[in-house]
Structure 1
Amino acid sequence: MIVYGDAPRRVDPRAALDELEGALHRLQPMPPGLERHAALISALIAAGELAQGLADAEFAARGKDSASPGPDAAMALLARLAEAAWASWQSGFTSLALPPRAEIAALRAAPMPAGIETKRAEGFAYYALYPEAYALAATALPEASWRVIGLRSIGTTLAAMAAAGLGAPVPRTLRPVGHPFRREMAVEEGLAAHLIAPSPARFALVDEGPGLSGSSLGAAIGFLQDRGVAPGRIHLIPGHGGDPGPEADPRIRDLWSRVARHPASFEDLLLHAERPEHRLEGWAAALLGPGEAPLRDISGGAWRSGPEGGWPPVHPFMERRKFLHRARGGTWLLKFAGLGAEGEAAAAWDRALHDAGFTPPVAGFLHGFLVERWVEGRPLDPAATDRAALVAHLGRYLGFRARTMPAAPESGATVEALWEMARANAREGLGEAAALGMERWKPLLPRLGAAIRRVHTDNRLHAWEWLVLPGGGLLKTDAVDHAASHDLIGCQDIAWDVAGAAAEFRLSAGERAALCGRVAQESGRAVDEELLAFLTPCYLAFQLGYYSMAAGAWGGNAGEAARARAAVARYAEALGRVLQQS
């Protein structure tokens, strides 16, 4: 099933450097505190993306990783920023280094291509992977002479933070290549020799994960061992303490078993830190008042309440970190929305949606965590509500998004990618005969692509995402980050959300027409009927894939897997019906 997506962004590296330098200068007058530290981490992430993009451009030109002035200068700049970020954290957010002018000048003087491709670091954007956790994990490593190697993409920034925690020299980065479950390293011999000799006492390999196979870090371990580095000299700093997933082959598991691991820990960094200014609970108390009870973790579906028989299905790997903070007689939701620019944008959209009356009040943004009031209400039951009023509210909501939340042309999957996904998921879920129902759309894709006007779509219009307030009004929860989630879809035309609303609320033809009319009235632009007809099977096929993967992700949890399989059956039936009409 096709569910995940990772679209690169094309940027001008010199323009990116100018933006980074501007961000660093804007930091200087900011008062000490968490907000300034978060802005520094935002700059660190931007510098990491720049370094990753330059290194990957060089890799693409040569076919291997190699030493090169531009990427080397970018890593030197990133290392200085990592040192500043770690000093800021250790000082309780009182320390701020001066901008690294010499490193900026050196990078500006280095040769750079006209354009590079940068990749969104999923851990920073979706999975509450904090760079500071890698520096903290590195401090537990034994004293030695260290060579730090990060695995691109996100390992670029993480390696810089690990090196800062170790007090090690500027790290190197490598790009694992090949099949996702059988990664290999492609390193020019000169760089390989430089990495090994003069021989440091120990190597620290840094990346997120392990994921389904653990093959990226496995390939790096193998690269060192093939050049004579004993397993006892190799240390891993991964994103968690678990083993490689079910796709790991025996050789990879053996490689992992022979080396020491020092996982970066969200809990150690933000939940169990000794100093209150480092704890998420302390950040919430500073904004909302002292907690009346310990933070309550409601991640992984723990936000659901009531009898389990009525719980909606969830995908455990796609759930954001969420906590409840009780203070001054109220309850507040702290939800991870992304570090840096990703989270800041989500907070801005959430404020706009609340001001328009669609979402809960927003209290603030705390270094990755969006803070909203936790509103008590009953889940929406589409069968027991005024259907005309529901359609009208949906129309106002989607029309507002269409009118006020524009998105960049490259911020979502193309119609070609959606078509490929729908055909593949239909084939796997329903069989080849059903998948042929997507064929009629193939010659129409150019016109459909031209019709798209991208906005920050909701992408999550399921009934359980809505609350009915005591007065009968509706409130949308979880409204700002699904168009920036770790999946294929991204920002789409508002017709995607119309298709989603029609599927989730089982709208009749008349209700769907009324919804389109209300969206057009609110947004000033008609919903393209042909585009809507195309996006309807695409939406259903995506949901089919999403919940199929959710069912597999739950492993031995029979109850959760059954909930996901029930959703699979529901979307499969709806998709089959639509494709039969094609």
Structure 2
Amino acid sequence: MPAGIERHAVLVAALIDAGELTQGVADAQFADLGHDARSDLTDALMALLIGIACCVRQSWRTGFHQLGGLPEAELRSVGAGPLPDAITTKTAEGFSLYGLYPETYLEAAGAVHAAERPTQVIGLRSVGAPLAAAVAAGLGLRNAVTLRPTGHPFNREIRLSDGLSAEILAGKDARYAVVDEGPGLSGSSFGAVADFLEDAGVAPDRIHFFPSHAGMPGGCSSERHWLRWQKAHRPVVDIGDMLIHKPKRPEHRLETWAAELAGPPTGDMMEISGGWWRALRYSREAEWPPVKPQLERRKFLLPAAGGTWLLKFVGLGSMGERKLSRARSLHAAGFTPEVAGFRHGFLVERWIDGAVSLDQRFGERDRVVEQAGRYLGFRARHFEAGAGQGASLTALAEMARFNTAQTLGEEAARDLDRLVQDAGLLEDAVRRVETDNRLHAWEWLHAPDGRLLKTDALDHHAGHDLIACQDIAWDIAGAAVEFDLSESECLRLCRIVAGQSGHPVNPDLLALLTPCYLAFQMADHAMAVNTVAPESADAKRLRAATDRYVRRLERIIAAGRRDRSPMDTCIAAA
């Protein structure tokens, strides 16, 4: 390929793919042994990963002009050894959803003072395998190991063979780089490795953490992990600094990548991640909807000769290319804004100045129901998902019961049981599609030219949560709740979806999924309060949204007590 950002992007995609291969093989070995251990195959895979990472480093540091020597010998070594008959790979959400770039880890590693540089790199699977390779390349090292934290998400532990444990701890004065995405709500994956090192006598100041952000763990962190994180070495390079505010080379600038698609820049880029897009869509802050700032995709506005464009992270490599194809098909069908193209993780989409969100101006209800029905019917017809790509109805019912018991008490949970008791019997009725999973009113726009458009429509079915791909009835339930649909409006929405998709909507399935939707949203917003400052405006908005779902769930449970029909019970949610 010719030198440039597109060749560099393909190289990073190779690093990610090799990381998935490494993760799958290492996890298969872990499953056989019950712990992590050295093997010729995993050593060869890590060598391949680091070889690719060194090429990424060379490409990045030379403004995409040079690659260095490709790791052909390392690739042959992987292919020469026996491989497992089958492996299970896991898509790294950071690379597909959360703006995680290996280049930020390269930069963070390169910025560590020479006297303090780690000599041992430990990557935490899944995503930590390729990221550890990037850190090793940035530190000038040719070795790294990868470990699998296991156990409860808030209390992870690591299991190592005696040989691997002894090898990691062999260096008397060794410094360690522990590499992963996060920290999340607990930071327990990072903490599990640090506990192991410190319990073996490693001084805390010899441990460097390479996380994806500069923040603290969430409210589920243990005291030991929290206190350690406050004092620890935590080199981080933010993607906004790397691509916009403090790029080291002009070729690194995000607007340069997009110029061929959007036209020459006519002003400075503006970041609107973390809920700041609300300042452009709402005239008063009091009207802002609730958001989860830490989980929002990175997005920037670019004023250019061709108008104003939204540059939104949608995924690196093949993941991003698939979302580009989806964005184009949705726009061609009249449901989403215009798309100019894709550059190394970022979709370039038209920003519609003067658009008003649906929660500010609902407009003609019949027209809203019509467009929502056509949109959901289009998804149901064209975005079919494979079997098993989503939580089972039984799992959804169990989630709903657990969340209800936690929030409303055991008596309410027992009443809910009646509404979801047929979950196992209805599984054969499910036709799984790549559902939108984000039907909130502020996710829809009234454009100045009269169009009603859906935003953020690409990948919530692939989010880091339980739901994933469901029957389109899940989205119908979401629309009924979020749009406050009446019984007649909900019935009309079902008819439109059925007509557009070619498949009828099962009323019993809709009645089952509606309380599940409410219970999920209730807990999702309640948990999100732990990710923001307790007394902040966002915390208040999230609590208010939680209360809204609580009231609606209480209402639907009460309607179920009165033995209403499945469709009537569904409408009670609104």
TM value normalised by structure 1: 0.90
Unpaired segments ≥5 residues, structure 2 = 561-574
Matching residue's letter, 2:29: E
State the match for 1:343 in structure 2. 320
Q: CA–CA distance in 2 between the matches of 1:569 and 1:247? A: 22
Pairwise CA RMSD: 2.2
Do the aligned partners of 1:138 and 1:166 also contact (CA within 8 Å) in 2? yes
SS in 1 for 2:390: coil
Worse-matched range after superposition: 245-254 or 500-509: 245-254
Could you list the per-position Cα deviations for residues 298-350 of structure 1 after superposition, in whole angstroms to 9, with x for gaps in the alignment? 11111112112221111222211111110116111111112223222221111
Q: CA–CA distance in 2 between the matches of 1:507 and 1:530? A: 18
Is 1:91–2:62 an aligned residue pair?
A: yes
Could you list the per-position Cα deviations for residues 463-507 of structure 1 after superposition, in whole angstroms to 9, with x for gaps in the alignment? 111112234321111111221222221121111111111111121
SS in 2 for 1:184: coil
**Residue 391 of structure 1: which of 369, 382, 389 is its match?**
369
**Residue 241 of structure 1: which of 202, 206, 214 is its match?**
214
Is 1:356–2:333 an aligned residue pair?
A: yes
Q: How does 1:85-234 map to 2 (within 5 A)?
A: 85-96=56-67, 100-143=71-114, 146-197=119-170, 201-234=174-207
Do the aligned partners of 1:222 and 1:255 also contact (CA within 8 Å) in 2? no
Q: CA–CA distance in 1 between the matches of 2:473 and 2:42? A: 42
Q: CA–CA distance in 2 between the matches of 1:247 and 1:387? A: 42
Do the aligned partners of 1:137 and 1:265 also contact (CA within 8 Å) in 2? no
Q: Percent identity?
A: 53
Could you list the per-position Cα deviations for residues 378-434 of structure 1 after superposition, in whole angstroms to 9, with x for gaps in the alignment? 222598522222222111111111111122223222212211111111222222222
State the match for 1:17 in structure 2. none
State the match for 2:256 in structure 1. 282
SS in 2 for 1:398: helix
Q: CA–CA distance in 2 between the matches of 1:217 and 1:270? A: 27
Q: CA deviation at 1:178?
A: 2.9
Matching residue's letter, 1:362: V
Matching residue's letter, 1:392: E
Worse-matched range after superposition: 145-154 or 453-462: 145-154
Is 1:459–2:443 an aligned residue pair?
A: no
Matching residue's letter, 2:71: P
Q: How does 1:477-556 map to 2 (within 5 A)?
A: 477-556=455-534
Q: CA–CA distance in 2 between the matches of 1:53 and 1:527? A: 38
Worse-matched range after superposition: 347-356 or 85-94: 85-94
**Residue 50 of structure 2: which of 79, 103, 106 is its match?**
79
SS in 1 for 2:53: helix
Unpaired segments ≥5 residues, structure 1 = 1-29
Do the aligned partners of 2:118 and 2:177 also contact (CA within 8 Å) in 1? no
SS in 1 for 2:433: coil
Do the aligned partners of 2:121 and 2:136 also contact (CA within 8 Å) in 1? yes
Q: CA–CA distance in 2 between the matches of 1:254 and 1:355? A: 52
Is 1:330–2:307 an aligned residue pair?
A: yes
Could you list the per-position Cα deviations for residues 249-295 of structure 1 after superposition, in whole angstroms to 9, with x for gaps in the alignment? 33224444564332243233222112111122322334323322211
Q: CA–CA distance in 1 between the matches of 2:273 and 2:485? A: 31
Is 1:39–2:10 an aligned residue pair?
A: yes
Distance 1:65 1:538, change over 3 A: same
Q: CA–CA distance in 2 between the matches of 1:95 and 1:314? A: 41
Distance 1:433 1:155, change over 3 A: same
Q: CA–CA distance in 1 between the matches of 2:541 and 2:421? A: 37
Q: CA–CA distance in 2 between the matches of 1:287 and 1:559? A: 37
State the match for 1:268 in structure 2. 241
Q: CA–CA distance in 2 between the matches of 1:412 and 1:531? A: 15
Q: CA deviation at 1:196?
A: 2.9
Distance 1:70 1:251, change over 3 A: same
Q: CA–CA distance in 1 between the matches of 2:488 and 2:261? A: 47
**Residue 307 of structure 1: which of 284, 287, 291 is its match?**
284
Q: CA–CA distance in 2 between the matches of 1:506 and 1:207? A: 41
Could you list the per-position Cα deviations for residues 157-190 of structure 1 after superposition, in whole angstroms to 9, with x for gaps in the alignment? 1100011111102211112233333333211111
Distance 1:99 1:444, change over 3 A: farther
Q: CA deviation at 1:99?
A: 5.3
Q: CA–CA distance in 2 between the matches of 1:578 and 1:300? A: 33
Do the aligned partners of 2:118 and 2:208 also contact (CA within 8 Å) in 1? no
Matching residue's letter, 1:136: E
Q: CA–CA distance in 2 between the matches of 1:111 and 1:260? A: 39
Q: CA deviation at 1:89?
A: 1.3
Q: CA deviation at 1:72?
A: 2.0
Q: CA deviation at 1:353?
A: 0.3
Q: How does 1:370-409 map to 2 (within 5 A)?
A: 370-376=347-353, 377-381=355-359, 385-409=363-387
SS in 1 for 2:481: helix
Q: CA–CA distance in 2 between the matches of 1:382 and 1:246? A: 33
Q: CA–CA distance in 2 between the matches of 1:470 and 1:265? A: 35
Could you list the per-position Cα deviations for residues 338-384 of structure 1 after superposition, in whole angstroms to 9, with x for gaps in the alignment? 22232222211111000111110001112111111001322225985
Do the aligned partners of 1:145 and 1:168 also contact (CA within 8 Å) in 2? no
SS in 1 for 2:126: coil
Matching residue's letter, 2:517: Y
Do the aligned partners of 1:316 and 1:550 also contact (CA within 8 Å) in 2? no
Q: CA–CA distance in 2 between the matches of 1:142 and 1:112? A: 39
Distance 1:264 1:176, change over 3 A: farther
Q: CA–CA distance in 2 between the matches of 1:438 and 1:120? A: 34
State the match for 1:565 in structure 2. 543
Do the aligned partners of 1:407 and 1:456 also contact (CA within 8 Å) in 2? yes
Q: CA–CA distance in 2 between the matches of 1:49 and 1:465? A: 32
Distance 1:398 1:201, change over 3 A: same
Could you list the per-position Cα deviations for residues 433-472 of structure 1 after superposition, in whole angstroms to 9, with x for gaps in the alignment? 2222332355523332222222121111111111122343
Worse-matched range after superposition: 494-503 or 564-573: 564-573
TM value normalised by structure 2: 0.91
Q: CA–CA distance in 2 between the matches of 1:451 and 1:225? A: 53
SS in 2 for 1:555: coil
Distance 1:323 1:79, change over 3 A: same
Q: CA–CA distance in 2 between the matches of 1:56 and 1:281? A: 39
Q: CA–CA distance in 1 between the matches of 2:39 and 2:155? A: 27
**Residue 426 of structure 2: which of 445, 448, 457 is its match?**
448
Do the aligned partners of 1:147 and 1:200 also contact (CA within 8 Å) in 2? no
Q: CA–CA distance in 2 between the matches of 1:356 and 1:431? A: 45
Matching residue's letter, 1:235: H
Q: CA–CA distance in 2 between the matches of 1:317 and 1:187? A: 32
Worse-matched range after superposition: 557-566 or 133-142: 557-566
The size of the alignment, in residue pairs, is 553
Q: CA–CA distance in 1 between the matches of 2:66 and 2:335? A: 40
Matching residue's letter, 1:485: G
Distance 1:245 1:571, change over 3 A: closer
Distance 1:491 1:309, change over 3 A: same
Q: CA–CA distance in 1 between the matches of 2:167 and 2:46? A: 16
Do the aligned partners of 1:147 and 1:169 also contact (CA within 8 Å) in 2? no
Do the aligned partners of 2:357 and 2:444 also contact (CA within 8 Å) in 1? yes
